[in-house]
């Protein structure tokens, strides 16, 4: 329902139909305002699916969208891709400017990344200084590399936080479905391995899952390694 000020008003109704011994049916009911409880449930649902700091989708929502994207890709024959992104030397930002500034920097970075993606893409915070991008509707693998390169270059220009121009770089691992993996979990693992390979090759670069596989010493998978 809408109030007079055109704001939304959520109600719960209970109605009873009276028709016995009456020439016309009569409906009587009671309406109860449930706006606050409805909005509270909506807030809780949002919090369960989004990162508290950046308000980006979290792992749960990312994985849900990824499974939907894979199903769609199987129907259409198009590809999807995962960009696994790590901020190089982010620890130095915390050490020099403090953790509060570090949090502000992560928020600023997320906004810059989001502004340089397509509307159909999903940017999620994986945790710490790591982000994941889900790219859908990909025709050629080169498209994914071009998007990754765009993100790499825009961050190289610096990010302004509290009037301080902070310079960082990105390392990006790239994997595509169905070329590099046949499930969502494996796609994330392959992109994560490619990211670790990118960091081992000097950081501030992009490495694909195919390039990683050509390496003689494939890196470890998610959760079995450490980064700086």
**Which CATH code is given to the segment(s) 53-214?**
3.30.70.270
Mind listing the pLDDT tens digit for each residue in 183-197? 999 999 999 999 999
| Burial annotation 54-86 (CB, 10 A radius, 16+ → b, else e) | bebbbeebbbebbeebbeebeeeeebbbbbbbb
Quick check: 32 pLDDT over 80?
A: no
Length of the chain: 228
What are the tens digits of pLDDT across the range 101-157?
Answer: 899 999 999 999 999 999 999 999 999 999 999 999 999 989 999 999 999 999 999
The single residue listed with the structure tokens 């710490």 is: 128
Domain ranges of the chain: 1-49, 53-214
Q: pLDDT tens for residues 74-85? A: 999 999 999 999
Number of H helices, E strands in the chain: 7, 9
- State yes or no: pLDDT of 212 exceeds 50: yes
CA distance 62 to 139: 21
Confidence band of 19 (pLDDT split at 50, 70, 90): low
- Which residues are the active-site residues? 129
């Amino acid at each position: 329902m809408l109030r007079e000020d055109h704001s939304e008003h959520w109600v719960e109704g209970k109605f009873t139909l009276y028709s016995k011994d009456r020439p016309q049916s009569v409906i009587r009911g009671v309406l109860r305002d449930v706006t606050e409880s409805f909005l509270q449930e909506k807030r809780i649902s949002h919090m369960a699916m989004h990162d508290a700091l950046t308000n980006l989708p979290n792992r749960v929502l990312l994985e849900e969208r990824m499974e939907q994207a894979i199903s769609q890709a199987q129907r259409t024959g198009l590809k999807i891709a995962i960009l696994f992104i790590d901020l190089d030397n982010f620890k130095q930002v915390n050490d020099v400017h403090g953790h509060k500034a570090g949090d502000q920097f992560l928020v600023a970075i997320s906004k810059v990344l989001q502004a340089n993606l397509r509307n159909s893409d999903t940017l999620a915070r994986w945790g710490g200084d790591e982000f994941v991008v889900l790219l859908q509707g990909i025709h050629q693998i080169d498209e994914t590399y071009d998007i990754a390169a765009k993100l790499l270059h825009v961050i190289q220009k610096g990010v302004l936080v509290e009037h301080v121009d902070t310079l960082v770089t990105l390392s990006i691992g790239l994997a595509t479905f169905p070329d590099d993996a046949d499930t969502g979990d494996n796609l994330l693992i392959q992109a994560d391995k490619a990211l670790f390979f990118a960091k081992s090759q000097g950081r501030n670069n992009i490495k694909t899952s195919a390039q990683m596989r050509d390496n003689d010493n494939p890196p470890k998978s998610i959760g079995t390694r450490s980064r700086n």
